[in-house]
């Protein structure tokens, strides 16, 4: 039970790093700035639910996709590490932020860009794909991890206005960079593991 709880915690933590709700908060605020405030929670919850369904579905079909593409475990481990490393570097050293005007929309967003690709983007899908390959019969654990991570992600996005006022722009950027540093270490470990398996080192 303790081992399973530890795996669940680590899985949820990894997914939250990839989902990056802190980094997405400014995007959500700017995208919904023209939406009535009473409608914003419904939109966020709806888009998070859609993203959760996409990620859970990918968890079940991911192993089949890998088999169809004939990808080996080391290749997937290394590819996952590279993708996470790129995400981590982007979090630790973010590019110039787009202005809010670039995200304004006259209509209520549906699926794009909130659910996909902001939440269920390539990085999250790749992480779930990697999980499906190494689930070892623990698919239900990963389903729980995906659902729990998405629930926490939704709660944080719902509180984006409060977080923005509490930490300010500088504080939010500092938190995102800290998450980027942690994700960098995880990505490097994945690369090391993949290379060791591929070249039978140690």
How many residues are recorded in the chain?
A: 202
Burial class, 113, CB count within 10 angstroms (exposed 0-12 / middle 13-18 / buried 19+) = middle
H-helix or E-strand containing 36?
Answer: none
- Give me the mean pLDDT over the 158-166 stretch: 89
Tens-place pLDDT, residues 44-55: 999 999 999 999
Tens-place pLDDT, residues 55-79: 999 888 877 877 788 877 788 778 8
Give the Cβ contact number of residue 89 at 10 Å. 14
What pLDDT score was predicted for residue 134? 67
Query: Residue 195 pLDDT more than 50?
Result: yes
pLDDT category of residue 202 using cuts at 50, 70 and 90: low
Q: Cα 61 to the chain's mean position, in Å?
A: 18
In the chain, where do the E strands start and end?
A: none
Query: φ and ψ at 72, to 5 degrees?
Result: -85, 165
Task: Find the radius of gyration of the CA atoms of the chain.
Answer: 18
What pLDDT score was predicted for residue 113? 83
Query: Residue 43 pLDDT more than 90?
Result: yes
Query: φ and ψ at 74, to 5 degrees?
Result: -60, -40
Burial class, 79, CB count within 10 angstroms (exposed 0-12 / middle 13-18 / buried 19+) = middle
Tens-place pLDDT, residues 120-136: 887 788 888 877 766 66
């Amino acid at each position: 039970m303790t081992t399973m709880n530890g795996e669940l915690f680590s899985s949820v933590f990894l997914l939250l790093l990839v989902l990056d709700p802190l980094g997405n908060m400014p995007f959500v605020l700017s995208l919904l700035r023209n939406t009535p405030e009473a409608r914003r929670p419904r939109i966020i919850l709806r888009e998070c639910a859609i993203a959760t369904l996409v990620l859970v579905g990918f968890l079940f079909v991911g192993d089949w996709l890998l088999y169809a593409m004939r990808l080996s475990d080391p290749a997937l481990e290394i590819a996952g590490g590279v993708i996470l490393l790129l995400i981590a570097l982007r979090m630790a050293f973010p590019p110039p932020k787009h202005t809010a005007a670039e995200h304004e929309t006259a209509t209520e967003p549906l699926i794009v860009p909130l659910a996909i690709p902001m939440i269920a983007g390539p990085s999250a899908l790749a992480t779930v794909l990697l999980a499906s390959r190494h689930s070892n019969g623990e698919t239900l654990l990963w389903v729980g991890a995906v659902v729990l991570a998405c629930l926490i992600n939704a709660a944080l996005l719902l509180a984006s206005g409060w977080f923005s006022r509490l930490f300010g722009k500088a504080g939010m950027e500092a938190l995102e960079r800290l998450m980027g540093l942690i994700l960098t270490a995880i990505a490097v470990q994945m690369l090391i593991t993949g290379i060791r398996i591929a070249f039978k080192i140690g």
